Each structure stands twice: as structure tokens, then as C-alpha cells.
């Protein structure tokens, strides 16, 4: 019996690279096009879970015989959800808010297994930034590294110099909690 194909429902190069780190290569990459706007009063953890599930459902309904992995990462200070920074101003605003504080990085992960079984998890990591000087913020903004990143920074890059503490999964902060994903994919009809 041929194992089902494995689809990653994400266009994130970081997620693809993280999966490769643990020896998993998707057969297809099919990003889900969904509205990622938070609902009024929606908590960050719930947003990450809902978006992962909606991405999963969008791809799994067209590929019911495939294993599908979907994820969404949300960065939050308390109940405040930080954007995926699209401008230098948003990166700057995120860094000013994160400076000298702890924040949460939530990643919702959802896996569809043929037979319409869905496995879901939300992984929470805590990150603390050192107090950033204005020149630190401007240097980072100028680097362009925070563009397109949830919370306006990439822990695996230059921002690592500003992180004084993490608790939880490092790979979760990068964009995909590898331990949890590996456990969720274990014994999926002959797949890792």
C-alpha cells in the first residue's frame, strides 16, 4: 500500500527548512489563502489555533486522502496580538513594545490524516527581550530582517543578540514546534 502524500499548507520557507532539519520533506506545498484577521476579543492562543485549523480545512477538503500539516504563529504581549510586520514602521513599533518585556509566541498546529481525523496542538514559548536602545531598534529596522515576521523579528537572525531569555520550544519561536509536529505525524499511515 502506497503511503498518502504529505502536504505542507504553508509558503513559509522557515517551516520548510525546519521540517527538513528533522528529515521530513513534503510532497507538495499548498499555502492556504484564508482571512487571518483576529476576531473581536479573540485571545492570541485561540487565534493561532483557529487559523491553523482553517488553513488545514481549506487544503484538506480538496485533498482528503493526503496528510496535511498547517500551522500559524502568533506573537502577543499579554492579550495584545502583534502584527506580521509589513513595514519598517510596524517593525519599529513591535520592537518598542517588546523592549525589556516578556512575550508569548503561540503556534497552532493542525494535522489532517486520511479518514478525516484531525490532530491539533497549540505550543506556547516565552521570549524576553533585553531593553533596546533607540540605535538597536533602528539598526534592526534597517536590516530588513523583521519584515514579514510575526512580531517584527526573527529569533534565528540578528534579533538573537537582543534575546535574554526563552522558555519552551526554540523551533516554535522560529515558526514550527518540531517535537510536537514529529509526535503528531508519527504513525500517519506509514509516514514519519
Catalytic residues: 72
- Count CB-CB contacts under 10 A for residue 46: 16
Question: Please, which residues have CB within 8 angstroms of residue 163's CB and are 6 or more apart in sequence?
Answer: 127, 128, 129, 130, 155
**Grid cell locating 111:** 494535522
**Residue 165 Rama label (left phi>0; alpha psi -120 to 50; beta):** beta
Nearest alpha carbon to residue 85 among 152, 12, 133, 34: 152
Buried b (16+ CB within 10 A) or exposed e, 14-26: bbbebbeeeebeb
Amino acid at each position: 500500500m502506497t503511503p498518502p502524500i504529505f502536504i505542507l499548507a504553508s509558503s513559509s520557507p522557515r517551516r520548510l527548512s525546519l521540517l527538513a532539519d528533522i528529515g521530513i520533506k513534503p510532497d507538495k506545498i499548498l499555502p492556504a489563502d484564508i482571512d487571518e484577521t483576529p476576531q473581536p476579543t479573540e485571545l492570541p492562543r485561540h487565534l493561532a489555533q483557529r487559523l491553523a485549523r482553517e488553513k488545514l480545512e481549506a487544503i484538506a477538503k480538496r485533498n482528503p486522502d493526503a496528510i496535511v500539516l498547517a500551522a500559524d504563529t502568533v506573537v502577543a504581549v499579554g492579550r495584545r496580538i502583534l502584527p506580521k510586520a509589513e513595514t519598517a514602521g510596524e517593525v519599529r513599533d513591535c520592537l518598542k513594545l517588546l523592549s525589556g518585556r516578556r512575550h508569548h509566541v503561540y503556534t497552532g498546529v493542525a494535522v489532517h490524516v486520511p479518514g478525516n481525523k484531525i490532530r491539533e496542538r497549540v505550543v506556547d514559548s516565552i521570549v524576553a527581550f533585553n531593553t533596546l536602545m533607540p540605535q538597536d531598534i533602528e539598526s534592526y529596522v534597517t536590516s530588513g530582517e523583521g519584515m514579514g515576521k510575526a512580531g517584527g523579528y526573527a529569533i534565528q537572525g540578528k534579533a538573537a543578540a537582543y534575546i535574554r531569555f526563552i522558555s519552551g520550544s526554540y523551533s516554535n519561536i522560529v515558526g514550527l514546534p518540531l517535537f510536537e509536529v514529529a509526535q503528531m505525524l508519527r504513525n500517519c499511515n506509514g509516514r514519519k
